Amino acid sequence: MDAVSHHGAPGITPAEADNRRRLCAIMLRCGFASYRREWWHYTLEHEPYPSTYFDFPITDD
């Protein structure tokens, strides 16, 4: 991804920057860690099944 996808990226609108900050604050409070190069990428810090790969459909389609 390019630099615009990073947290705190320059060149985005004030509303976009505020939304990214708000999402990050909420996710951090809920136990997730952010990936600094992708504003949408979070990982649960205390993963209950760290060695398990879940592969199942999540819809009925």
**Residues forming the active site:** 38
> How confident is residue 19, by pLDDT bands cut at 50, 70 and 90?
very high
Is residue 50 situated within a structural domain? no
Is residue 54 situated within a structural domain? no
Amino acid at 48: P
Dihedral of CA atoms 46, 37, 40, 32 in degrees, nearest 10, equals 20
Domain that holds residue 30: 3-44
> How confident is residue 54, by pLDDT bands cut at 50, 70 and 90?
confident
Is residue 30 situated within a structural domain? yes
Q: Please tell me whether residue 59 adopts helix, strand or coil conformation.
A: coil
* Other Cβ atoms within 10 Å of 39 Cβ, number: 23
- Counted domains in the chain: 1
Higher pLDDT, 18 or 60: 18
Is residue 49 situated within a structural domain? no
Is residue 17 situated within a structural domain? yes
